[in-house]
Amino acid sequence: MGESTEGRSDVGTGFDGVRAGRPTERFAHGRNPGRHLTSGVPAGDLFALAAPPAAICGTYLLPESARSALALRYTEPSVLAAYGAHLVHFEVVHLAGNLLGYGLLATTCYLLAVATGLRRFLLVAAAGIALAFPPALSGLNLVVPRDAITYGFSGLNAALFGLLAVLSIEYLRATFCPTIERRDAGAVFFPTVAVAALLVLPPSWVAYAVAAAAATITGGYLLSIRGRGRDVRTLLVEVRDRPGYGDLLLVVAVIAVGYPAVAFTPTATVGVPNVYTHVLGYALGFLTPYLLLSTGLFDD
């Protein structure tokens, strides 16, 4: 939420042989994920992707008094504010930052989902984030009483970041590393938890303990993956030699490193970032889609 007070025809060899029948087989002959956006996106998908920015901009055009009424006040919460606060912005810099973040995260999630045959899953997960997460994040915010207001889309952006973590593992499974399993998603989730603990919590033994525990769990996941025989050097060479596929993976890596440094750092030029909501959004945005995907309802 927010801020307080605020193609290549030869690709079918190598691992593609192992991945026969996987969703990404449709890209094996010249249509890499990045070209999907220029080769025709369904109108319904475009509408779904554009709906949140349209709602955010429409809310920004409201009179300031109307936007103030939508902001979530901890001392006087309302159902309308529980939803509306996530669309409210008062400063152009704040608005632009959240729109830019949404554009980067939503586009990357969409490409990952298309490349792994999980477009339907993405639409269902995104609908859940749009409809269920605003009141959930608002309610969890009220657990920590304070005399302040909160507003902004960044908590929902953090949820998209969690969804991206789930989709990134599916992309690796389908495109580069068939030895990776869905349960290995923790190898993406827990490093961010470690970083968040060090950035969000005050320096203390609790912060260090949480970060150390998350780092240890991450190490366990990585050792497990390595034990299944995947050679890191071979992976890096394949990433380099597969334009489009490798480029998208590099974009995911940059987001994975850069986003936590922005979202989980309690400093800002506009207001005071509600990093508590950012962490909650990320956790819910990862765990809920992961559990949904684990049901097998979206497996072909």
Q: Tokens in use for 57?
A: 């901009």
| Of 214, 216, 211, 188, the residue nearest 200 (C-alpha) | 211
What CA–CA distance (Å, rounded) separates 130 from 141? 17
Q: How many CB atoms lie within 10 A of CB 44?
A: 9
Instruction: Report the residue count for the chain.
Output: 300
pLDDT category, 129, cuts 50, 70, 90? very high
Whether the predicted pLDDT of 53 surpasses 70: yes
More confident site: 233 or 7: 233
Whether the predicted pLDDT of 12 surpasses 80: no
Rounded to the nearest 5°, which phi and psi values hold at 151? -165, 165
The residue with tokens 């030895």 is 179
Task: State mean pLDDT over 40-49.
Answer: 84
Burial class (CB in 10 A: 0-12, 13-18, 19+), 290: buried
Average pLDDT, whole number, for the chain? 82
More confident site: 47 or 233: 47
Task: State mean pLDDT over 193-218.
Answer: 89
The residue with tokens 């159902």 is 79
pLDDT category, 32, cuts 50, 70, 90? low
Whether the predicted pLDDT of 165 surpasses 70: yes
